[in-house]
Structure 1
Amino acid sequence: MDGDYIIGGVFSIHYIEKIMVHDYITMPEPPSCTGGINSRELLFSRAMIFAIEEINNSTELLPGIRLGYQIHDSCASVTMAVRVAFRLSNGQDPVFHTGDKCSQSGMVMGVVADTGSSSSISISRIISSFNIPQVSHFATCACLSDKQQYPNFFRTIPSDRFQADALAKLVKQFGWTWIGAVRSDTDYGNNGMASFLKAAYREGICVEYSEAFYRNDPQSKIQKVADAIRRSTAKVVVAFAAAADMKVLLEELARDPPPPHQWIGSESWIADPQFLRFSFCVGAIGVGIPGFVIPGLRDFLMDLSPSEVAASPILTEFWEGVFNCTLEKSENSVGAAAVKKDCDGTEDIKMLHKPYTDTSQLRITNMVYKAVYAIAHAIHNAVCERTNFTTQCNKHTRLESRQVLTELKKVNFSRNGYVVSFDANGDPPALYELINWQKNKSGVIELVTVGFYDASMPIGQEFRIIRNLTWMDGGMQVPVSVCTDGCLPGTHKVLQKGKPICCYDCKPCPEGEISNVTDSPDCFPCPREFWPNAEKNTCFPKPVEFLSFDEVLSIILAVFSVGGACLAIITAAVFFHHRTTPIVRANNSELSFLLLFSLTLCFLCSLTFIGAPSDWSCMLRHTAFGITFVLCISCVLGKTIVVLIAFKATLPGNNMIKWFGPLQQRMTVVSFTFIQVLICTIWLVVSPPFPVKNLTTYREKIILECALGSAVGFWAVLGYIGLLAFFCFVLAVLARKLPDNFNEAKLITFSMLIFCAVWITFIPAYVSSPGKFTVAVEIFAILASSFGLILCLFAPKCFIILFQPEKNTKKHLMKKNQL
């Protein structure tokens, strides 16, 4: 249609370019399109005509100016798109005009083109040389946002960069990490999939396979892509493909439908009603352009008279195709009358169920409508001026496409409730609907809007789900698509060699470490005073271990300790009751009573080692042990010295006994004991023992024990006891051959032998025993040495006193001496 200013339009009304066989003898025919008409693309072209007629009837936009149009069919072919681009650039005037007033009927001020990204790129590279602006309704390749290469390109549909991010976040939203990917082997598919994979990898999504194909590829290649889908383990397939390519793939899959897959579609095909016939794709979800209502469009589409149809070869082909009849005087009727009846005028386009007549969800159609209005507003701003309350437009203004291109960058208007504007890259704001293929109650698959995606929202809030979704095979549960089932808490992921990061083995956490989330990449150690539970998913406080009174071992040791103390007291009572008898008097009763008292303290001091260590108990247990044992050994040493001196005093001329009387004996015991008290005092003042939590002996529990403070102090106390015991043992050995009535020397020798043996074996046992058993070994050494002393020194005497009183006489003792 002619007009004051012309707007070009390019749509893929056919999907197949006619293959020409050149014989190089005759002039080749111009390229042409063939195959069936795509009624959806026909709808786009009709929507452009509707928008232009609406503008021509408007009194606000371009008043007094009539827009014309040139609409061409690119048949989704780059070759055809290049040819159309040259036709749009050259104009349609048959002759050249001279003079000041040149015809403007062939001037194209802007182009609405094209459906595919590849053909849009070809058109842009040609018409940009003439500064003709191009506004695409469906070319989404992110590459077209590059203003260095495509300075004249604009679009009313968001860039694939936003779509790729939306699809990646959609996959991540439902926890799918193992997917398959197919794409058109075109600029749209390759660039779009590259953007998607980049975004997917950022989200931790792995791709099992990525296949590219084109609708004109050999059937074997299409079948190869279909087989990859059939045998894959990934349950989710992301298809970034043009509608024409996707149709070929789905038709191939329909021959041998694969197991149910969850299809994720790009906006080029997910909202196309023609694909709803592929029932194995039910549950498919993807992003689509929001649907809008264009008032009056349906009436315009339905208002097709036979004469109007007959005047247009495209409409004629469409009419004859959908009604299977032949219009009179139609070029297409030649040779077709044998298979088609004549159209009789009763055909009603309103009864058709084709994308052409479906105006319930105008998505891409609205993008065409917006593109036409954007170019019209740019022309309006270039040739019209507002004076007072009216707008004046000069249709004789010599308008150049460069001016329209400049004004197009600044357009910002509202139409039917939506805003049209372009950013610096020529892109509109990114807003998508989430489209889901759902079966209605009648079993018919429908396109249902289940949510929205707004790229301008904060991270994590881009999606807004408004209704329930249907998943693959019509299910209501979100399908699972992972390479490896999630690792439970208590385990962590170990990557499989040569596999993507989503394929891994689940290994239990090492000892002392936990993981408390699913699919944990690593385990982390518990705090020092905590330890994992059996499942290794939670840290619990470590059990605190010490030798407590309620343990069986502690009870046994306590019984022996109290029993030993009672034995010492009973022995003292026996001695006290028979204190006047010769056997008691002959064995230095004063030192014997003092020795029994010290042995009682030795037995009882072992009780201080049982129970939770505290500051006072740690200091008390070691010092009480050291002092009481020195007191005990001092008494034994005193008795040994007395025995030796008593024997020497019986010799003529020896008066040594007067130098070691009772006072000297007491002073000896006090002196030896005082030295130990002094050592303990220095130890407690300089670096006393203190309670400590031992976290190194056992990793899984805490040993509450007494640290020595100063190790020198501890070994000084122990060494001093050992020194006295060794000295006592040497003296007892020297006195071992005394007469039988002084046989206490032999008993002392034997008792010291037991004492030294116990404490010599104690040292390695003490060092090597872990945890609370260190304390048990120390208590055992105390009790063993104490029992050794009381049994060796007092058991024979008590036996005579209690069971052989006839031997407890001075005469019997003297008689044995004479023997």
Structure 2
Amino acid sequence: MGCHHRDEDAPTRPTTRITYHYPNGGWTFNTDRKKCTSGDPVPIPHRYFQSGDFVIGGITSQFSVPFAQNNFHQHPSQLQIDENIVLTKNYQLLLALVFAVEEINENHQILPNITLGFNIYDSYFNAQHTYYATLQLLSTHNRFIPNYKCGIQNNLISVIGALYTRTSLDIAEVLGIYKVPQFSYGSTPWLNEKADTISFYKMVPSEAYEYIGILQLLLHFSWTWVGVLTAGGDIGERFVQAILEVFPTRGICFAFLERFKTLYFSNLLDFITLFVSIFNVSMESNANVVIVYEEHVLNFRLLLYLPEMGMGTMEPKGKVWIMMTSMVLMSQIYQKTWDIQAIHGALSFTVHSNEVRGFQDFLQTRSHFETKEDGFVQDFWEQAFDCVFPNTFLSEEREKICTGAEKLESLSGLLFEMNMIGQSYNIYNAVYAVAHALNAMQSCQHKHRARTDRMSNLQNPQSWQLHHFLRTVSFNNSAGDKISFDQNGELIEGFDLVNWFIFPNQSFLRVKVGRLDPCASQDNMLTIHDESITWHRSFNETMPFSMCTESCQPGYSKRRQEGKPFCCYDCIPCPEGKISNQNDMDDCIKCPEDQYPNQVKNSCLLKHRSFLSYEDSLGITLAILVLLFSWLTLLVLGSFMKNHSTPIVKANNRKLTYALLISILLCFLCALLFIGQPGMVTCLAQQMTFGLIFSVAVSCVLAKTLTVVLAFTTTKPGSRMRKWVGKPLASCIVLSCSLIQVGICAVWLGVSPPFPDVDMHSLTEEIILECNEGLPTMFYCVLGYMGFLAIISFMVAFLARKLPDSFNEAKFITFSMLVFCSVWLSFVPTYLSTKGKYMVAVEIFSILASSAGLLGCIFSPKCYIILFRPELNNKEQLIRRKI
């Protein structure tokens, strides 16, 4: 951009004289200023646009618009080159520049006394032409002599360009030397060492934010299995390296990664073969989401059109295409009839834009053919409206005559849009940024001028002087958006997330469904309105899934498949004791100690406390049995006490019999200590009481057995055992045997006594409240000693079983000890194999069974005689050999 000083007292601004030239098939706008002498511009034959992009420069700015290289027909054998093909949609970029300049020139609040003008060149997307056009901006008008100023001069202030990264870098390599501000309005170039980054201003936010946006978009919808189609060359490799470094760390895998290659007509067959291969890979993959990083949308459209051309072995499938900022949905003339339904439901990050007031009226009311030197409008018009002007050669294929009265609004959105697109919006803002910077520089010079020659500096501002003001420029444009740059020269702005809605008539609608805000925290940059998104029809309007393996539901964990990416896995059930409460968990987790997994292993349930209580049916049953056997024991004891003078009671030591019955009664009652919630007192009393009472009972049985043996032994003449028969012997046996058990229990209490404990692990669904034996060895010592007494009693009774029946209890004692030993021998493995309250129930049952065995086997025959055969309970009957 340049400036032209106007005297302050002038009533109006001088008008801009516009002359058009075709140095590169483009146009040039110049202000009406001359120095030295210069001849009239020498016309250069018009050249059709083969490839490349516009470079807007000169006094104003520079930008780029891509043109196609080739024309694709229905079959690859018919592929031809047509040098008269343009991308009509990009003509709007030129008009956005014209609109911005005219709007500024008509606004007396901005740049008073200064008129803006601009030059436009075509770079043909070629480095040689780009360098040539850039050097022309630094040359005298119509003379390719860089740094030489004579004749009609272009006071170069800034450059706007280009649409594509490669062209922007080529321009920057030249302009960086001169410190000329350069504005990139399309792709954000990756500046290299040759480019002067200080002179570069980016109207598109950094691509790094766009990468973050794509990542957050994938994570938002849980798309972990995606394909990638990327451009070839350094630009594509930069993108690939960026996503390969970050995406896998967030759980994103790549189903495929295919690269487009530059089209060269010398190897057209290889080019088509490559596209067919890319199409087949894309359609064959089960990835429903594909990221497309390609500056040239024409390649992407060709890829989607391959099935219509009868190419590709795979049937086309619906995909969610995620497109980058640089991709604008456009069409060449030969692509006008190509179906774009495959793009329906696509998502793309686009440069934030708003509708600029007056732009549509400008497009509708502008007389596009009044400027006869416009080297672009005729080709644009013919291509857009598929017609030819009368002075042009009429081909047989296209004979429609252009009138110039055709309406731009009647064109398809693929060819031309009446709404300002993102790139046009950037050009509009870039022009205004230069204007505001020039305005600030003018104000600064007016405030601080001390000499009269300051005005000459204003009339000839140097481009490098503009940087200070561009870095601090900040204004609201006519659409209400704030425009300013950060310290890196990047526009402080975000991206819009756009959802593409394709109508059956090939028209389309861009629906903003989200916003990428670089000022937010990294994990919250992207805001998405899910309910506003329309998906491809093949997904039945529901959000598609894109995962290598269907999500592992809660209750399962992932196991990676060998030889495949980490996103590919098998779902295996959680092992016992573990759960997974989320989808796609890498490993199952354990529940807290007081909880256990539910049946499907997707959540934890609270364990219930378990102990043998009186409210439990098992506890009630055992308590009733205890009371029943205790009542029976009392009946037996009462019967014996009532008939204490009868011979059958007096036989075999009456007091020893009472002691045995009382100990059996206590054995039954001690079982009640095991029912109820364990406490410190009950835990100490349970095993100790059980061990001591049973030792007394078995000692009494042993004493009775020895008494019988000694009784019959002392009847022999001269027996020395007579003095041992009697009460002292029985009492000594009972007391000594019991004291040994008391000693064992005392050691137990001293070393490691029982205590109440909580067992959370033995049973899955229960927390067992139990009495911990403290030192299990001592518990088995108590059982072992009790078993030792029982075995001695059994052996003695077994040896005495053949003594005269009338005075002999040995046979009954033998049976009782046999039952007693059998119960406690079976108790040990059963006790060890059960858990919780059932383990306590086993011990209670063993107590009841062994006690009942003693009561039944020893006292039932005598009770039978006392209660039912009292006639046998006399001395005469007892001295007989048989009852």
Normalising by structure 2, what TM-score? 0.80
Q: Give the drift of 1:544.
A: 4.3
Partner of 1:22: none
Deviations 1:88-143 (CA, angstroms, capped at 9, x unpaired): 344535387999x85571453322111111121122223323333321111224x2
Distance change (3 Å), C-alpha of 1:448 and 1:675: closer
CA contact (8 A) 1:383 1:394 kept: no
Matched, 1:317 2:379: yes
CA contact (8 A) 1:15 1:76 kept: no
Counterpart of 1:207 (choices 254, 258, 263) is 254
CA distance in 1, matches of 2:599, 2:589: 15
Partner of 1:519: 584
Q: Give the drift of 1:428.
A: 0.7
CA distance in 2, matches of 1:522, 1:743: 72
* Aligned residue identity for 2:424: T
CA contact (8 A) 1:283 1:470 kept: yes
The farther-off stretch of 464-473 and 366-375 is 464-473
Matches within 5 A, 1:363-442: 363-381=422-440, 385=444, 387=446, 394=456, 398-405=460-467, 407-416=469-478, 417-438=480-501
Deviations 1:795-815 (CA, angstroms, capped at 9, x unpaired): 333444455555443234445
Counterpart of 2:219 (choices 137, 152, 172) is 172
Partner of 1:144: 191
Partner of 1:602: 667
Deviations 1:44-63 (CA, angstroms, capped at 9, x unpaired): 12322333334444444443
The farther-off stretch of 554-563 and 487-496 is 554-563
Distance change (3 Å), C-alpha of 1:35 and 1:571: same
CA distance in 2, matches of 1:263, 1:541: 47
Partner of 1:246: 300
CA distance in 2, matches of 1:121, 1:534: 63
Deviations 1:209-268 (CA, angstroms, capped at 9, x unpaired): 222214625222222222223322122222222234334334435546822222222222
Give the 3-state SS of the residue equivalent to 2:417 in structure 1: coil
Partner of 2:231: 184
* Aligned residue identity for 1:430: E
* Aligned residue identity for 2:635: I
CA distance in 2, matches of 1:109, 1:98: 14
Give the 3-state SS of the residue equivalent to 2:68 in structure 1: strand
The farther-off stretch of 156-165 and 685-694 is 685-694
Matched, 1:50 2:99: yes
CA contact (8 A) 1:301 1:357 kept: no
* Aligned residue identity for 1:122: D
Give the 3-state SS of the residue equivalent to 1:181 in structure 2: strand
Identity %: 35
Deviations 1:261-289 (CA, angstroms, capped at 9, x unpaired): 22222222356588996123222221222
Deviations 1:365-417 (CA, angstroms, capped at 9, x unpaired): 12112222333444555566454699985477554443345554443333323
CA distance in 2, matches of 1:560, 1:731: 31
Q: How many residues align?
A: 800
CA distance in 1, matches of 2:786, 2:528: 83
Q: Give the drift of 1:680.
A: 4.0
CA distance in 2, matches of 1:678, 1:306: 119
Matched, 1:284 2:357: no
Give the 3-state SS of the residue equivalent to 1:67 in structure 2: coil
CA distance in 1, matches of 2:721, 2:458: 151
CA distance in 2, matches of 1:669, 1:641: 11
Matches within 5 A, 1:333-352: 333-334=392-393, 340=399, 343=402, 346-347=405-406, 352=411
CA contact (8 A) 2:87 2:331 kept: no
Matched, 1:484 2:533: no
CA distance in 1, matches of 2:729, 2:674: 34
CA distance in 2, matches of 1:730, 1:394: 135
Distance change (3 Å), C-alpha of 1:221 and 1:570: same
Matched, 1:811 2:839: no
CA contact (8 A) 2:141 2:151 kept: no
Matches within 5 A, 1:300-699: 300-303=362-365, 305=367, 308-327=370-389, 333-334=392-393, 340=399, 343=402, 346-347=405-406, 352-353=411-412, 358-381=417-440, 385=444, 387=446, 394=456, 398-405=460-467, 407-416=469-478, 417-438=480-501, 444-465=507-528, 468-473=532-537, 475-548=540-613, 561-647=626-712, 649-650=714-715, 661-662=726-727, 665-666=730-731, 669-670=734-735, 672-673=737-738, 676-677=741-742, 679-680=744-745, 683-684=748-749, 687-699=752-764
Give the 3-state SS of the residue equivalent to 1:311 in structure 2: coil
Partner of 2:65: 12
Q: Give the drift of 1:465.
A: 4.6
Q: What 5-or-longer segments of structure 1 have no aligned partner?
A: 19-31
Partner of 1:223: 276
Distance change (3 Å), C-alpha of 1:622 and 1:118: same
CA distance in 2, matches of 1:396, 1:651: 151
Give the 3-state SS of the residue equivalent to 1:144 in structure 2: coil
CA contact (8 A) 2:298 2:331 kept: no
* Aligned residue identity for 2:102: E
Deviations 1:58-100 (CA, angstroms, capped at 9, x unpaired): 444443344332211123344433332343344535387999x
The farther-off stretch of 507-516 and 795-804 is 795-804
Q: Give the drift of 1:586.
A: 3.0
Matches within 5 A, 1:638-787: 638-647=703-712, 649-650=714-715, 661-662=726-727, 665-666=730-731, 669-670=734-735, 672-673=737-738, 676-677=741-742, 679-680=744-745, 683-684=748-749, 687-711=752-776, 713-726=778-791, 728-729=793-794, 732=797, 738-749=803-814, 751-752=816-817, 754-756=819-821, 758-760=823-825, 762-767=827-832, 769-787=834-852
Distance change (3 Å), C-alpha of 1:215 and 1:12: farther
The farther-off stretch of 629-638 and 555-564 is 555-564
Distance change (3 Å), C-alpha of 1:205 and 1:423: same
Distance change (3 Å), C-alpha of 1:46 and 1:630: closer
Q: CA RMSD in A?
A: 4.0
CA contact (8 A) 1:178 1:208 kept: yes
The farther-off stretch of 336-345 and 264-273 is 336-345
* Aligned residue identity for 2:533: L
Distance change (3 Å), C-alpha of 1:522 and 1:344: closer
Counterpart of 1:260 (choices 299, 318, 342) is 318
Deviations 1:14-59 (CA, angstroms, capped at 9, x unpaired): 32289xxxxxxxxxxxxx9933222222221232233333444444
Q: Give the drift of 1:180.
A: 2.0
Distance change (3 Å), C-alpha of 1:359 and 1:145: farther
Deviations 1:567-602 (CA, angstroms, capped at 9, x unpaired): 433333443344333333333222222222222222
CA distance in 2, matches of 1:431, 1:583: 109
CA distance in 2, matches of 1:763, 1:797: 32
Partner of 1:24: none
The structure with more strand, counted as a fraction of residues: 1
Give the 3-state SS of the residue equivalent to 2:83 in structure 1: strand
CA distance in 2, matches of 1:348, 1:590: 130
Counterpart of 1:235 (choices 288, 296, 302) is 288
Distance change (3 Å), C-alpha of 1:601 and 1:365: same
CA distance in 2, matches of 1:752, 1:341: 123
Q: What 5-or-longer segments of structure 2 have no aligned partner?
A: 1-28, 34-57, 72-80, 265-270
Give the 3-state SS of the residue equivalent to 2:645 in structure 1: coil
Distance change (3 Å), C-alpha of 1:176 and 1:343: closer
Deviations 1:536-594 (CA, angstroms, capped at 9, x unpaired): 01112335444455777666655654444344333334433443333333332222222
CA contact (8 A) 1:271 1:288 kept: no
Partner of 1:117: 165
Counterpart of 1:157 (choices 199, 204, 209) is 204
